Amino acid sequence: MKIDRLFQKTEKKQLKEFSRDSVLHAVAEFVVCDDQSLALANKTTFWNCLVAMRPAATIVDLPSTHDITTYIHNSFIKLIKDIKDEMQVCVFFNR
């Protein structure tokens, strides 16, 4: 198995359109990759920063701690499943 198959290159895109899913992904990535506390997601000051970046955002647009926890959990499960599938394919072809 080659490690370069685990990572996909992304192309630079034009400005992204705002969506609840993209905010959820960005906040989850911030929590996981920057080793931040999940409690950060429910802090008013953090929400104010998100709203400052997107003034039209409402409470519904901002992810809760539960949303972020679920997203991280599901992403991790998918990653492990993909790695397991890749390993099974490699073992199958090496026989």
| Amino acid present at 32 | V
The token pair at 57 is 């955002």
> Could you tell me if 54 and 18 are in contact, meaning their C-beta atoms sit under 8 angstroms apart?
yes
Q: Which of 13, 76, 56 is nearest to 23 (CA)?
A: 56
Torsion, Cα of 66, 72, 74, 79 (10° steps): 180
For the chain, what's the residue count? Answer: 95
Q: Confidence class of residue 95 from pLDDT cuts 50, 70 and 90?
A: low
Dist CA 69 CA 76 (whole Å): 11
pLDDT in tens, 16-73: 667 888 888 988 988 888 888 888 877 888 888 888 888 888 888 888 889 999 999 9
